Every structure is written in C-alpha cells, then in structure tokens.
Amino acid sequence: MRMDAAPRNDWATIPNAITLLRLFLVIPICTYLVSDTRPTLTAILLLAFGLSDWVDGFIARKFGQVSKLGILLDPVADRLGIVAIAVALVVGGMIPWWIGVVIFLTDLILLCTYFLLRLAEPPASSRLGKFRTAFIMLGLACVAFGRIEQLSMLYQPGIYILYAGALLHIVVGFSYFHFMRGEARDSASTRGDVAT
C-alpha cells in the first residue's frame, strides 16, 4: 500500500504484523473452503481478512508507521490472499472456474512483468484498483457467507459481483501493465541521459 508519509526502513511495525496475520488467515480460509466445512468460521475469517487491509493502512497513516517493507508486503498479501481464496472456491466447486483463472492469470502476468522490468517498487494502487479489490472482496464475502444456511440468499448475488469484479480486474490489470512499461521506459531513458 503506497502511503503519503515518507517510508521508513523499520520493518517491526504494527501494520506489518497485521499484514502478516492477514496472510496467515488465508491458510484456514482456503482449507475450510476446499473441504467445504466450518462455513460460519470461514466467513468470519474472510471478513477479518478483508477488514485487516483497511486497519493496517489506517494505523500506518495515523501513527506514522509507513515502512518500505509494508509498501511491498501489503499489496502482495492482498493479491496472494485473493488469488488463493478464489482458487480455493473454484476447487470447492463454489464459483465458476473462469473467475479463478482470470484473477490468477492477471496477477501472475503483472507479477512477472514487475520482476522482469526490475522496477524499484510496485505501482501505486489507483482509485479504480482499490474499487476493484473492494468489489472482489465483497463478492468473495457474499459467497462465503452464502454457505451459511441462514444466509444462503447472499450466494447468488456474490457470484454476480464476482463476474463484474473479474472483468474489472482485467481492465485494472491492463492499466497497471501499461503503467509499469511506461515506468521502465522512463527509467531506461533517465539512465541513458545520465550515461551521456
């Protein structure tokens, strides 16, 4: 997550601890989804996963705990978590396979592009990117809560939200891909000017 405050080298911060906790939550969430067990606990853990993203960002900004590690770790935790949960839902037969494929492949292409271009840091999250993430998380949450018998009416709306979220993911992914290529060209141009 890119913050306005100047990042520090410190890694031992509360936001980073929350981000790591968010990553660890993915393990039981995916386990319960694949085995189709503990629907109530799974939904609660998924809700905690989504809310923790807002909490760590708020703490980092409010208390000046922005760190270089956090700038890299936060988006990685978001993307890994969402991809893993989406794939687990596909394996569990709860969402269409193409949604998981779109989310997985788009993020894989962006990750490979980032490392191949050797960028200094990932692109800042755009407003559309944040909306995309919130949209997908809402869809995942609706599907997860829809596994609870009393809340089964949320399942189908969750699928429709994920349809839209997956398509939006492609649009956002293309914009990030284009941005990273531009950053790489600018960086190469700058190095050329310095060498001259």
Residue 19 pLDDT > 90: yes
Q: How confident is the model at residue 196 (pLDDT cuts 50, 70, 90)?
A: low
Which residue from 29, 16, 50, 59 is spatially nearest to 137, judged by alpha carbons?
Answer: 50
pLDDT band per the 50, 70, 90 thresholds, residue 61: confident
**List of domains in the chain:** 14-189 (1.20.120.1760)
Taking only the tens place, the pLDDT of each residue in 114-155 is 989 988 777 888 899 999 999 999 999 999 999 999 999 999
Among 31, 43, 42, 1, smallest CA distance to 19 is for 1
Share of the chain above pLDDT 70, in %: 92
SS3 content of the chain, % helix, strand, coil (to 5): 80, 0, 20
Among the listed ranges 53-62, 89-98, 105-114, 169-178, which one has the minimum average pLDDT value? 53-62
pLDDT more than 90, % of the chain? 68
**Model pLDDT, residue 194:** 57
Residue 92 has pLDDT above 90, yes or no: yes
